[in-house]
């Protein structure tokens, strides 16, 4: 995977109205499953991979969002491990982490920033 | 025949005495009546000035409104005694009631001392004593801008602060040459005075009032020295006068300058008549503080409840105080004014407004008293050294200069009998005992358990360090807060939601929490709201725990299981066939659950609405297997089939399950009904279980098969069906209202102070007087039941939430099954190696 820092490519996903307030949904972006959260009580958006790094199940979008000492996070629905939505680090003190993505809103559409689409692997 | 104990006065001391009587088991010996002159029950007069800001008597009350009844104490309000007949031994009240007594306790307290100067009766002059006084003050203050407080003692300075807070010009007038003349010396007073003046309160010392100015309404004070203070309102807080007139008129001996004379056992000269608190004159002292009154109450209650034991003596009280006056720390303890032989060590810093004084014994070894103004951090250390007569370090000044250790290593070595809370006479050992018993794991709990820290509050830092130290020693730090977002327990949040009518998480966190919430508090609030209002939980979808959110249990692979309700485990062949057909149609794995239902596993998220549409059409409803809710009621075949059965357990189980289906609770709830003592339904392994007897039904509670399996305990025996249902209503609602989050009934019952006997008292005898409310709440939940799945399958909008992708109709391509024993199951999770990209 190309890791050189560069401006991501913005992929439109869906209309803002499709996203529940203070909740998440899963989107399919170039074959990847990405969990996108409309954190409306913070007026922020976050995105991360949908896969629970612990069990491999595609469920993070169904997790509950919240904060821990001000850090925005999502709790995995399988065993309630929490992950920072900013950095992807596991707040519950486990070693694994998740990948996060930038989110951009324009004209009522939600965009996800992906590096070099289609060239991964 | 119980002895008749009459308490005159329902102030802080009278109430404390009643509490102690209850605590010492006096309810078995005495029929207690307590008379209050005020229209309300006992409240915290020490924090009266809080009323200026919060206007809430509720926060000042010393006990819940049902406390008296729950403890078998008769409370008569707005009904003072007007005479005591010491010969025929009865009290006559203002309402003409005659109350015969065997024991009589005078706890009539004191009234404000009103100096006798001319014009003191003018309109605009008030005393500062009761909530009613405060209400009058607040009303009158609306029309004035300048207010004086007569009296520079503790209460007077508090009142001056309240005046300042009301936005008025505030003056303090003191007869003596210094503020708080009983506690502070000249130097301390002068530091305090400049501090208080810098905040805007004007202080007038050495002022003897000659007369009040003004025609009908008060316009100011003229002093003996000829000076005049022009103010429009006067609040008198110049000391107290014991309310001894009733005693005096009844031939009970009083002191020359007032106060009912008592000996070391708080006895008056009349047999069986006692006096405690501010009305009592003990060894020439009338104490104007609550702590000595509490000590007297404790001593007397102990003596009355423990006949035959060695009686306790009241030896007089320590007059230590620590207060925050207008934001300035002030503390004084022991022989603060140095009235006995001593060496003083003092430190003054006019720049920072700090004054500290130690009064030590001539040999420098013992601390006899002290004063702290501006910085009272050292108070709890010093008070402990003083009260326990601990030998001082070689350089005692180190205790007040430099930075004294707050959590003091000095305490670690304190003996268990060291007194920590002098207001309530609580020792270090008492605190440790309460912590070790497991009944309190935070400061709030410790205060409730031991009463320590509920008087002046000066010992709170020490309580905190003892608590922390002990919890650390036990290897735990426990709080009852739901999580970092709410400084409340679940029980408190429940009450808040109910009282304030809060119906959403957003409202709850905005008004009573902080931050954005989390996976702990969101479902807890969701459960509370559901338990109170019983709305479809999908209305608050994003705060539901993962299973509630999709109305199904998430399983390995991220698929879901489906459990339709099968009340009592009874099912017709047709319905059984339908379940089989639906399972086949959607390729679901089937299993009979431990609760006599059928689990259909392996449903993909997007299949759930279709599966349930089919089930609902065939007459099934949600089994709530996904919720912290009432789930299943197991049964045996009972008297309809079984050759041993004595009652129809199946019919009763169905009735129970249908009554309580889906009710949200702090944790999942299960039940069972057995038709005879052979217990084939294993009812005693359930949160509540019912076993048939020849005469009716036995109701057991608090069992379950969770992590710590417990057999349920008998709550009531041989009930008819209606009574049994009524008791279950009460039990369930009481649990729902009071249990902490995720605590099952067995743990809840274990933690309930008083255990099963207390629970019986609440459920059967209505000890708390809440059963009617509990039954009504349950009726409301039962009456508003809806099938959550029916609600979803009738609403296309809600079904949309079950798509795996927001931008594609595809299912989750990663979900895979393998075959085992003729059915499908999810593939295993990867072992050891973490899943990586």
Q: Which residues of B touch A96 (CB under 8 A)?
A: 834
Provide mean pLDDT across the span B705-726: 88
- Rounded Cα gap, residues A98 and A35, in angstroms: 11
Q: Which residues of A touch B541 (CB under 8 A)?
A: 20, 23
Q: Answer yes or no: same fold for B3-109+243-306 and B112-241.
A: yes
Contact B716/B698 with Cβ under 8 angstroms? yes
Of the ranges A43-47, B195-199, B745-749, which is most confident? A43-47
CATH code of A87's domain? 2.102.10.10
Q: Which residues of B touch A70 (CB under 8 A)?
A: 515
pLDDT for B804-831, tens place per residue? Answer: 999 999 999 989 898 889 999 988 877 5
* Interchain CB distance below 8 Å, B519 and A56: no
Contact B5/B44 with Cβ under 8 angstroms? no
* Least confident stretch, A107-116, B455-464, B593-602: B455-464
- Rounded Cα gap, residues B680 and B645, in angstroms: 10
Residue appearing with tokens 């007032």: B258
* Interchain CB distance below 8 Å, B545 and A78: no
Which CATH architecture fits B545-622+805-829? Alpha-Beta Complex (3.90)
Distance from CA of B686 to the nearest CA of A (A): 26
Is B728's pLDDT higher than 90? yes
Distance from CA of A66 to the nearest CA of B (A): 4
Domains in chain A, number: 1
* Interchain CB distance below 8 Å, A66 and B518: yes
pLDDT of residue B834: 43
Q: Which CATH number fits domain B419-474: 3.40.50.10490, 3.90.1150.10, 1.10.1050.10, 1.10.10.1100?
A: 1.10.10.1100
Is B407's pLDDT higher than 80? no
Task: Please report whether residue A48 resides in a domain.
Answer: yes
Residue among B517, B808, B830 whose CB faces A28 most closely: B808
**Substitution target from B485, B486, B517, B518 for chain A, most A beta carbons within 10 A:** B518
- Taking CA atoms, what residue in A is nearest to B545? A64
* Interchain CB distance below 8 Å, A72 and B523: no
DSSP one-letter string for B716-747 = EEEE-HHHHHHHHHHHHHHHHHHPPTT--HHH
Please provide the CATH number assigned to the domain covering B628-794: 3.30.413.10
- B151's CB contacts (< 8 A; 6+ apart) are B172, B173, B174, B236, B237, B238, B239
* Interchain CB distance below 8 Å, B558 and A26: no
Q: How confident is the model at residue B479 (pLDDT cuts 50, 70, 90)?
A: low
Q: How confident is the model at residue B475 (pLDDT cuts 50, 70, 90)?
A: low
Q: How confident is the model at residue B371 (pLDDT cuts 50, 70, 90)?
A: very high
Residue among B517, B805, B835 whose CB faces A28 most closely: B805
Q: Which of residues 29-58 of A touch B (CB under 8 A)?
A: 33, 36, 39, 41-42, 49, 51-58
Tell me which of B257 and B413 has the higher pLDDT: B257
* Distance in angstroms between the alpha carbons of the first and the last residue of chain A: 6
Task: Please report whether residue A18 resides in a domain.
Answer: yes
- Taking CA atoms, what residue in A is nearest to B833? A54
Task: Please report whether residue A3 resides in a domain.
Answer: no
pTM: 0.53
CATH 3.30.390.30 for the B321-401 domain, yes or no: yes
- Which residues of B make CB contacts under 8 Å with A? 484-485, 506, 515-519, 521-523, 541-543, 545-546, 549-550, 554, 556-558, 801, 804-808, 810, 812, 814-815, 829-830, 834-837
Q: Which residues of A touch B806 (CB under 8 A)?
A: 13-14, 18-19, 25-27, 36
pLDDT of residue B476: 63
Is B316's pLDDT higher than 90? no
Task: Please report whether residue A1 resides in a domain.
Answer: no
* Interchain CB distance below 8 Å, A62 and B518: no
pLDDT for B737-771, tens place per residue? Answer: 999 888 889 888 987 878 899 999 999 999 999 99
Distance from CA of B488 to the nearest CA of A (A): 17
ipTM of the complex: 0.90
Computed from CA positions of residues B740, B742, B745, B746, in that sequence, does the dihedral angle turn out positive or negative?
A: negative
Residue among A36, A58, A66 whose CB faces B519 most closely: A66
pLDDT for B498-513, tens place per residue? Answer: 999 999 999 999 999 9
Distance from CA of A55 to the nearest CA of B (A): 6
Task: Please report whether residue A120 resides in a domain.
Answer: no
- Taking CA atoms, what residue in B is nearest to A18? B806
Provide mean pLDDT across the span A30-51: 95
* Interchain CB distance below 8 Å, B836 and A26: no
How many other CB atoms are there within 10 angstroms of residue B412's CB atom? 10
What share of chain B has pLDDT > 90, as a percent? 61
Distance from CA of A84 to the nearest CA of B (A): 12
Helix, strand, coil percent content, chain B, rounded in steps of 5:
35, 20, 45
Residues tagged in the binding site annotation of B: 636, 642, 676, 680
- Rounded Cα gap, residues B212 and B227, in angstroms: 12
Q: Which residues of B touch A39 (CB under 8 A)?
A: 516
Its domain, for residue A72, covers: 8-115
Residues tagged in the binding site annotation of B for [4Fe-4S] cluster: 636, 642, 676, 680
- Taking CA atoms, what residue in B is nearest to A63? B546
Please provide the CATH number assigned to the domain covering B3-109+243-306: 3.50.50.60
Sequence ranges of the domains in chain B? 3-109+243-306, 112-241, 321-401, 419-474, 490-544, 545-622+805-829, 628-794
Average pLDDT, chain B: 89
Residue appearing with tokens 């065993």: A79
Residue among B546, B814, B815 whose CB faces A77 most closely: B546
Distance of CA B618 to the CA centre of its chain: 49
**Substitution target from A37, A50, A57 for chain B, most B beta carbons within 10 A:** A57
Is B717's pLDDT higher than 90? yes
pLDDT for B264-274, tens place per residue? Answer: 999 999 999 99
Task: Please report whether residue A50 resides in a domain.
Answer: yes
What share of chain A has pLDDT > 90, as a percent? 73
Tell me which of B48 and B439 has the higher pLDDT: B48
* Interchain CB distance below 8 Å, B484 and A64: no
* Interchain CB distance below 8 Å, B518 and A67: yes
* Residue B129, phi-psi category: left (phi > 0), alpha (psi -120 to 50), beta (remainder): alpha
* Interchain CB distance below 8 Å, B812 and A33: yes
Distance from CA of A10 to the nearest CA of B (A): 16
Q: Which residues of B touch A99 (CB under 8 A)?
A: 837
- Taking CA atoms, what residue in A is nearest to B549? A62
Q: Is residue B493 classed as helix, strand or coil in its secondary structure?
A: helix
Please provide the CATH number assigned to the domain covering B112-241: 3.50.50.60
């Amino acid at each position: 995977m190309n890791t050189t820092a560069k401006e991501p490519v913005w992929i439109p996903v869906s209309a803002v109205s499709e996203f529940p307030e203070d909740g998440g949904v899963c989107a399919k972006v170039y074959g990847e499953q990405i969990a996108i959260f409309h954190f409306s009580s913070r007026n922020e958006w976050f995105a991360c991979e949908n896969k629970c790094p612990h069990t491999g199940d595609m469920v993070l979008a169904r997790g509950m969002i919240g904060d821990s000492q001000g850090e925005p996070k999502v709790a995995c629905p399988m065993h309630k491990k929490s992950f920072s939505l900013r950095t992807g680090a596991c707040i519950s003190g486990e070693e694994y982490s998740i990948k996060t993505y930038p989110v951009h809103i324009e004209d009522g559409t939600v965009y996800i920033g992906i590096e070099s689409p289609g060239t991964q692997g | 025949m119980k002895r008749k104990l009459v308490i005159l006065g329902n102030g802080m001391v009278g109430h404390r005495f009643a509490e102690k009587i209850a605590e010492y088991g006096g309810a078995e010996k005495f029929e207690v009546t307590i008379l209050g002159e005020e229209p309300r029950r006992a409240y915290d007069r020490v924090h009266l000035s809080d009323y200026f800001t919060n206007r809430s008597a509720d926060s000042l009350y010393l006990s819940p409104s049902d406390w008296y009844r729950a403890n078998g104490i008769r409370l008569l309000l707005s009904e003072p005694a007007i005479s005591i007949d010491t010969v025929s031994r009865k009290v006559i009240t203002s309402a003409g009631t005659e109350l015969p007594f065997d024991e009589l306790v005078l706890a009539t307290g004191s009234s404000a001392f009103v100096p006798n100067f001319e014009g003191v009766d003018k309109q605009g002059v008030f005393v500062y004593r009761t909530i009613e006084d405060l209400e009058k003050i607040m009303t009158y203050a609306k029309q004035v801008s300048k207010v004086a407080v007569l009296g520079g003692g503790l209460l007077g300075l508090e009142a001056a602060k309240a005046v300042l807070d009301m936005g008025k010009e505030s003056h303090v007038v003191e007869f003596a040459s210094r503020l708080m003349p009983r506690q502070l010396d000249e130097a301390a007073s002068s530091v305090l005075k400049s501090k208080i003046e810098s905040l805007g309160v004007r202080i007038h010392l050495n002022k003897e009032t000659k007369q009040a100015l003004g025609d009908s309404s008060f316009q100011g004070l003229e002093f003996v020295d000829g000076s005049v203070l022009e103010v429009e309102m006067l609040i008198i807080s110049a000391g107290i006068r014991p309310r001894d007139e009733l005693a005096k008129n009844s031939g009970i001996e009083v002191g020359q300058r007032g106060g009912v004379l008592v000996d070391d056992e708080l006895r008056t000269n009349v047999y069986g008549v006692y006096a405690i608190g501010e009305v009592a004159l003990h060894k020439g002292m009338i104490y104007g503080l609550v702590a000595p009154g509490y000590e007297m109450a404790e001593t007397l209650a102990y003596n009355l409840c423990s006949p035959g034991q060695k009686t306790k003596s009241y030896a007089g009280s320590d007059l230590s105080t620590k207060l925050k006056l207008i934001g300035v720390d002030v503390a004084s303890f022991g022989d603060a004014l140095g009235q006995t032989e001593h060496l003083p060590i003092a430190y003054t810093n006019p720049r920072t407004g700090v004054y500290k004084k130690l009064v030590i014994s001539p040999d420098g070894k013992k601390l006899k008293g002290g004063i702290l103004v501006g910085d009272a951090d050292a108070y709890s250390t010093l008070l402990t050294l003083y009260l326990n007569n601990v030998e001082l370090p070689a350089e005692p000044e180190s205790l007040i200069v430099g930075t004294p250790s707050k959590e003091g290593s000095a305490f670690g070595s304190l003996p268990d009998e060291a007194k920590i809370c002098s207001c309530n006479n609580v020792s270090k050992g008492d605190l440790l005992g309460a912590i070790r018993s497991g009944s309190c794991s935070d400061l709030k709990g410790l205060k409730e358990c031991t009463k320590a820290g509920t008087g002046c509050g000066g010992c709170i830092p020490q309580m905190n360090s003892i608590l922390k130290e002990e919890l650390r020693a036990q290897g735990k730090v426990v709080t009852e807060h739901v999580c970092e977002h709410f400084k409340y327990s679940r029980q408190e949040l429940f009450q808040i939601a109910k009282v304030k009518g809060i119906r959403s998480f957003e409202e709850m966190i905005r008004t009573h929490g902080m931050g954005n919430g989390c996976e702990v508090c969101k479902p807890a609030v969701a459960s509370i709201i559901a338990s109170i209002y019983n709305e479809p939980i999908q209305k608050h979808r994003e705060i539901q725990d993962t299973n509630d959110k999709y109305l199904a249990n998430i399983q390995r692979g991220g698929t879901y299981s489906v459990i339709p309700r099968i009340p009592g485990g009874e099912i017709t062949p047709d319905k059984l066939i339908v379940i089989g057909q639906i399972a086949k149609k959607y390729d679901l794995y089937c299993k009979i659950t431990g609760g006599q239902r059928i689990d259909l596993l392996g449903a993909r998220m997007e299949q759930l609405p279709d599966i349930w549409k089919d089930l609902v059409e065939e007459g099934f409803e949600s089994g709530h297997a996904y919720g912290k809710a009432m789930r299943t009621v197991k049964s045996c075949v009972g008297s309809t089939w079984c050759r041993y059965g004595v009652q129809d357990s199946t019919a009763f189980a169905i009735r129970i399950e249908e009554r309580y289906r889906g009710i949200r609770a702090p944790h999942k709830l299960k039940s069972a009904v057995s038709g005879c003592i052979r217990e084939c339904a294993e009812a005693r392994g359930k949160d509540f279980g019912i076993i048939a007897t020849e005469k009716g039904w036995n109701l057991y509670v608090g069992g379950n098969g969770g992590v710590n399996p417990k057999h349920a305990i008998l709550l009531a025996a041989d009930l008819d069906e209606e009574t049994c249902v009524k008791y279950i209503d009460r039990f369930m609602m009481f649990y729902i209202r009071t249990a902490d989050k995720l605590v099952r009934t067995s743990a809840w019952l274990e933690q309930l102070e008083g255990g099963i006997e207390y629970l019986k008292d609440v459920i059967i005898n209505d000890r708390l007087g809440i059963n009617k409310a509990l039954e009504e709440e349950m009726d409301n939940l039962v009456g508003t039941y809806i099938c959550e799945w029916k609600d979803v399958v009738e609403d296309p909008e809600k079904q949309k939430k079950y798509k795996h992708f927001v931008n594609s109709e595809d299912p989750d391509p990663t979900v895979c099954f393998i075959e085992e024993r003729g059915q499908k199951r999810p593939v295993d999770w990867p072992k050891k190696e973490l899943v990586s990209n």
